[in-house]
A and B are shown apart, each in its own frame.
Chain A
Amino acid sequence: DIQMTQSPSSLSASVGDRVTITCRASQSVSTYLNWYQHKPGKAPKVLIYAASSLQSGVPSRFSGSGSGTDFTLTISSLQPEDFATYYCQQSYSTTLTFGPGTKVEIK
């Protein structure tokens, strides 16, 4: 199975900060990489698909980049509603795998 790692595992940031989360795959997944936002008690929400495509309805402050094994999710100006856990997920193989998550907390 393809293993996914993320860094950092958690971060504290203030409203208005620029936040960057990285994701690494154990082997190349090309651009078969998605990013999700998950809040407690809620359904996960897709933010970015195919590494860099913004899901319809998602604010433009979210962006994704990367290919192969290294990927980045950037929030250009953190908003109060963005405090959540973020997961990367590869869909290159028939068995999907998620990263361990990055918890974004209020500083």
Chain B
Amino acid sequence: EVQLVESGGGLVQPGGSLRLSCAASGFSFSSYWMHWVRQAPGRGLEWVSRINSDGSTTTYADSVKGRFTISRDNAKNTLYLQMSSLRAEDTAVYYCARVWVQQMVWGNYRYPDFWGQGTLVTVSS
């Protein structure tokens, strides 16, 4: 059974740091790209970051660039999101998601197919 379990959320003061983890099981974690996506209270889904399968390529939303770092430990089947210089607007439930590669007639199509339940990060003094 595919499982993604996020942890590490909590209450942090503005300007502080936090590291989120996403423990993967039930699939070959090292073969998959992964995403972090967040949802602020009362708001919609917002993509945060993506990492390729070996960790050599990362991409970030402008809203977190320079403050957040995505990484992974394939030996531990774990994805991370290091968050620093946190702001009130970073308050959200953070989800990790696996990227599935579907072979189409015209080529490969990548999309997030499986998501964890999320972990809540609250930035407040």
Contacts and interface: CB of A to CB of B under 8 A. Distances in A.
Interface of A: 1, 32, 34, 36, 38, 41-46, 49-50, 53, 55, 85, 87, 89, 91, 94-101
Contacts, number: 62
B47 interface: yes
Contact of A44 (B62, B95, B110): B95
A18 B114 CA distance: 27
Interface in B87-125: 95, 97, 102, 104, 109-118
B59 A94 contact: yes
Given A43-B117, A43-B118, A53 B47 contact: no
Nearest to B48: A96
B17 to A, nearest CB: 24
B36 to A, nearest CB: 11
A53 B45 contact: no
Q: Which secondary structure dominates chain B's binding surface?
A: strand
A101 B109 contact: no
Contacts of B97: 44
Interface in B5-32: none
Interface in B27-86: 35, 37, 44-47, 50, 59, 61-62
Contact of A50 (B62, B95, B104, B115): B104
